[in-house]
Chains A and B, each alone.
Chain A
Amino acid sequence: MKKTHYFLIGAVIISTSIAVYSFFATPKIAVVDFKRLVNDYQGMKDATLEYEKKMTGWNTTSDSLTDAIKNELSDYYADSAFLSKQERVNRETKIISMRNKFMEFSKGLEENAMAEDQKMTIEVVNQVLSFVEKYGNDKGYDVILGKNEGDEVLYRKASMDITNELLQALNRNYEGF
């Protein structure tokens, strides 16, 4: 009978201690420099390179259109003294049409570039956020705060900043090994 009592008292003490500990336990919190995390992420670097390649291709097309207009214009000036009125009108119409096409292309280019940039950023940020969620979960963090330009985090102990280790893990995950 005595033994049962001791056992019950022990069980009550242990469960109460666990409950008190869980209640007062400090949540595991870390801070991350999110801007640096995204900028130094290899996925971001590769995506930026891809974007630049696309831009170079578009700019090359743009340059060749500009050159074609310039050539047409200089030919027109050179020939203008020998052209009939109708021929002059035809050549001018052609140049105006070329210029309009160029303007249209430039506008499209700007829109494409902006859309591509936005798409790239969203993709990369989604990759980073998904990884941070997995990392936080695996490492048992309760909260991972992002230190951004607005700097909502006014103070943090250096030991709480996990940017470097998170970045390492993120890049390892990007490599796929």
Chain B
Amino acid sequence: MKDFKRYTIILLFFSLACSKSEVSLQDYYEWQEDESNGVHKTKTVGEIAFDMKLLSPDYLTYLELKGEKGAVTPQLKDSIMKFYENNLTFVLTIGPAEESHFDITSVGVKNYEEYAERMKQLNFGLTELLELRAGGKKWKPVIVEMENIYGLEFHRKFNIVFSPEEKADELVKLDKFTVMFDDEIFGTGTSSFGFLKSSLDKTPAIKF
């Protein structure tokens, strides 16, 4: 009986130690922003800065359930989480480098035709320029969506989603993966953003 109690306490201790800590949304943003945590990568080429963030399934589930009026059951949360776990979702921000001040939708643009072409590229052309690579395999994004901007901003944000093509769990099983962006728009060449699955696993859970 004594042994049973002891084992129960040890098991309880381990399960508590292994469970993810729950943090507020603000703390999650702070954790995500810190590049040393591995889910946020930045690059600057010339006057253009790239910022790529890997979003956790927990955060995406949070966003989806945020507006939910009824009670969020654990089953509902788990099913949404499962969906996001099988995909890889990123946010790419393209903007001017630190000391530069220009709107990326119009930099280098000479006339209206070129502006229209730039907007077309930004709205619809990024799918062709982005690729996920891991272990010799390549995936094209299934969604690339430019976020609407309601104000004067110099940068633009893109939501990018990669989905499995053959097996549902093929992306979950990747230990490391790289998002390649072949920049034909601003002429900065190919930029790679590498991520480790272990970094995603370390992401803190968000308090719902």
Contact = CB atoms under 8 A, between A and B. Distances in A.
B194 A176 contact: yes
B192 interface: yes
Interface string A22-47: 00000000000000000000010011
A127 B195 CA distance: 20
The interface residues of chain B, by DSSP majority, are classed as strand
A126 interface: yes
B187 A119 contact: yes
A123 B187 contact: yes
A134 B192 contact: no
Given A130-B44, A134-B44, A46 B190 contact: yes
Nearest to A133: B44
The contact size tier of chain A is 10 to 19
Contacts of B44: 130, 134
A41 to B, nearest CB: 11
A177 interface: yes
Contact of A122 (B176, B187, B192): B187
B188 interface: yes
B176 A130 contact: no
Given A126-B46, A134-B44, A177 B176 contact: yes
A151 B146 CA distance: 47
Interface string A160-177: 000000000000011111
Given A175-B194, A176-B194, A177-B194, A126 B178 contact: no
Interface string B171-208: 00000101100010001111111111000000000000
B193 A130 contact: no
B140 interface: no
Interface in A117-146: 119-120, 122-124, 126-127, 129-130, 134
A119 B41 CA distance: 25
B176 A123 contact: no
Interface of B: 41, 43-46, 176, 178-179, 183, 187-196
